[in-house]
Amino acid sequence: MKTLWSIALFLAPLLTGAIKAHAQTDTTTMAYYCPFCGNDCDKIAYTQPGKCPHCGMDLVLESRASHEKKDTVQRLKVLFYLQDGVEVLDFAGPMEVFSYAGFDVKVVSRTKDPIVSQGILKIIPDYSIDDAPAADILAFFGGNAGAAASDSLVIRWLQGMTTPDYYFSVCTGAFIMGKAGLLDNLMVTTFHESLDHLQQAVPSAKVLRGVRFVDNGRVITTAGISAGIDGALHLVEKIRGRDAAEQVAAYMEYDKWVPNQGLVVNSSGAK
């Protein structure tokens, strides 16, 4: 009996959500939708407010037409270039942000061979630089970033990736973008122990201290490690609006996000 009661308690939220969900044919009818999280629940319309019974995010009241319009943003393609030795939180924090914002995040590396993050986490890339597709956001991260920055094949590949709407770096990932010429004549930042080194590596740039991120329009650089979360939330805000970014931050229980800790040099969007 106790087992049956436990099963009933487990199924109750899902059954309740199923009862509230309904098919919607009129694009002007208002309903409650799950914010885009990249899962099947993105398509479900609910008749009552609350939390999505599948992913747990707060439901939003909007018309079907408005929700479907956001779907074009939800499908933004994000490529994370990860090198062997990459710092876990450098990429894991932004990956969490972008995935909960509904973006399609994939991993690319020099080859498709497994890489190891900080000697702990084994990662199998989705793509190599030989078959990586075009991306809306191309991101680079610290942790043995010098190996990627000094690899002529990686830099040549990056220089050939001219279609991204945004280039994004966390920590010493800025050195990879700097080697490719993407930071020339810009205000940028990086890991606090590498600020002087980045200034030497990219003399035409102005390397800033004491900021969580710097937004130059298409090029966004962040300070070290946890600052990547702030930069990623800023980019979500830039693309989808403050409400969407705040909802992601709340879902992640990241209450340290203060948008004004970053410097926006150029507020323009994608090219």
DSSP-derived secondary structure for 43-81: G-EESS-SB-TTT-PBPEEEEHHHHHHHHHHHT-EEEEE
pLDDT tens profile 49-108: 888 887 777 788 888 887 776 665 557 999 999 999 999 999 999 999 999 999 999 999
CATH ID of 76-264, from 1.10.1200.10, 3.40.190.10, 3.40.50.300, 3.40.50.880: 3.40.50.880
The Cα–Cα gap between 237 and 257 comes to 12
27-64 b/e (C-beta count within 10 Å ≥ 16 → b): eeeebbbbbbbbeebbebbbeeeeebbbbebebbebbb
* Sequence-separated (6 or more) residues with CB below 8 Å from residue 56: 251
- Domain extents in the chain: 17-72, 76-264
What was the pLDDT predicted at 42? 77
- Percentage of residues of the chain with pLDDT beyond 70: 84
Q: Are 144 and 110 in contact (CB under 8 A)?
A: no
The Cα–Cα gap between 179 and 154 comes to 10
What was the pLDDT predicted at 47? 86
Ranges under pLDDT 50 in the chain: 7-9, 11-19
- Taking alpha carbons only, the member of 103, 117, 93, 58 closest to residue 236 is 103
Q: What is the DSSP letter of 170?
A: -
Q: The tokens of 242 are what?
A: 């403050």
DSSP-derived secondary structure for 157-168: HHHH----SEEE
The Cα–Cα gap between 130 and 109 comes to 9
